[in-house]
């Protein structure tokens, strides 16, 4: 029986993965770290920022993490305000329906608190989640399950009574480790994720039919 659903944000609820990649590339180039391939970077979005930098440039580059992050966040917010980032059209109606079914909803995002607050306000997502865990509120980022464990704890629901919905292996892997139902949302893209998710959906709205089939234990 499902009591709660915890969502990833970027690439799951909002179309923002390309904007994150563009913002990181701007930061890297500004600080002289050129030559990063877009197609390599795009597959890292969803990881915490320090892990992206470590994987691309090694541990030594982490001394400049704050400089990277400051520029990246500024560029990302600029792209947000210019309309380069959008919310998938079915998201808000789906979240409202799931809440009406008696499910608790959580958000677990690698995005830090300040930026996440702006994004939630921009897309009128405030008030739709019973727990919101930003990336800077955990010591170990995705794919470590800490951020999801914290979300379920705040919801007062065991992970084994919940679903995790995300768009990348950085969501599916921790979900499987916790014993959650792991649901991959593709938005029409072809994705091969290991370990494989329990369910694959094209759009978030498909949860409205899927989750009742799994059984709902309303709070």
Q: Pairing between strand 131-133 and 104-108?
A: parallel
Are residue 57 and residue 112 in the same domain, yes or no? no
Instruction: Report if residue 205 sits inside a domain.
Output: yes
Are residue 151 and residue 206 in the same domain, yes or no? yes
Express each pLDDT in 117-155 by its tens digit.
Answer: 999 999 999 999 999 999 999 999 999 999 999 999 999
Residue-level pLDDT at 33: 93
Are residue 62 and residue 101 in the same domain, yes or no? no
Q: Pairing between strand 181-185 and 86-87?
A: unpaired
Express each pLDDT in 158-179 by its tens digit.
Answer: 999 999 999 999 999 999 999 9
Count of domains observed in the chain: 2
Are residue 110 and residue 210 in the same domain, yes or no? yes
Residue-level pLDDT at 189: 83
Residue 28: CATH number of its domain: 1.10.150
Instruction: Report if residue 127 sits inside a domain.
Output: yes
Which of 61, 81, 101 is the last residue in one of the domains? 81
Are residue 71 and residue 92 in the same domain, yes or no? no
Instruction: Point out the catalytic residue in the list 8, 73, 130, 167.
Output: 8
Write the burial class of residue 59 (CB in 10 Å: 0-12 exposed, 13-18 middle, 19+ buried).
exposed
Are residue 91 and residue 195 in the same domain, yes or no? yes
Instruction: Report if residue 166 sits inside a domain.
Output: yes
Are residue 34 and residue 134 in the same domain, yes or no? no
Instruction: Report if residue 56 sits inside a domain.
Output: yes
Question: Following DSSP, what letter does each residue of 121-161 receive, concatenated?
Answer: HHTT-TTS-SEEE-GGG-SS-TTSTHHHHHHHHHHT--GGG
Are residue 47 and residue 96 in the same domain, yes or no? no
Which pLDDT band, with edges at 50, 70 and 90, does 193 fall under? Answer: confident
Instruction: Report if residue 219 sits inside a domain.
Output: no
Are residue 72 and residue 27 in the same domain, yes or no? yes
Domain around 135: 4-14+86-214
Are residue 119 and residue 162 in the same domain, yes or no? yes
Residue-level pLDDT at 188: 85
Whether the bond between 195 and the residue before it is cis, its omega within 30 degrees of 0, is yes
Q: What does pLDDT average to over the chain?
A: 95
Which pLDDT band, with edges at 50, 70 and 90, does 190 fall under? Answer: confident
Residue-level pLDDT at 110: 94
Question: Following DSSP, what letter does each residue of 38-105 receive, concatenated?
Answer: HHHHGGGBTB-HHHHHHHHH-GGGGGGHHHHHHHHHHHHHHHHHTT--EE-TTHHHHHHHHHHTT-EE
Residue-level pLDDT at 147: 98
Are residue 185 and residue 92 in the same domain, yes or no? yes
Which pLDDT band, with edges at 50, 70 and 90, does 15 fall under? Answer: very high
Told to judge if 8 belongs to the known catalytic residues of this protein, a careful annotator would answer yes
């Amino acid at each position: 029986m499902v009591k709660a659903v915890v969502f990833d944000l970027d690439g799951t609820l909002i179309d923002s993965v390309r904007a994150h990649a563009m913002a990181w590339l701007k930061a890297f180039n500004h600080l002289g770290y050129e030559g990063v391939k877009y197609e390599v970077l795009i597959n890292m979005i969803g990881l915490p920022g320090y892990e992206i930098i470590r994987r691309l440039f090694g541990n030594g580059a982490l001394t400049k993490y704050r400089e990277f992050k400051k520029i990246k966040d500024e560029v990302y917010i600029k792209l947000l305000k210019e309309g380069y980032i959008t919310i998938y059209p079915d998201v808000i109606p789906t979240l409202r329906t799931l809440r009406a079914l008696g499910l608790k909803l959580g958000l677990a995002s690698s995005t830090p608190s300040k930026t996440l607050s702006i994004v939630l306000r921009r897309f009128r997502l405030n008030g739709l989640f019973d727990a919101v865990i930003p990336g800077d509120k955990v010591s170990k980022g995705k794919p470590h399950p800490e951020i999801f464990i914290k979300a379920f704890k705040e919801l007062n629901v065991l992970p084994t009574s919940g679903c995790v919905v995300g768009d990348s292996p950085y969501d599916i892997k921790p979900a499987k480790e916790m014993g959650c139902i792991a649901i991959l949302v593709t938005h029409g893209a072809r994705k091969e994720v290991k370990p494989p998710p329990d369910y694959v959906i094209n759009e978030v709205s498909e949860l409205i039919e899927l989750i009742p089939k799994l059984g709902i234990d309303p709070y």
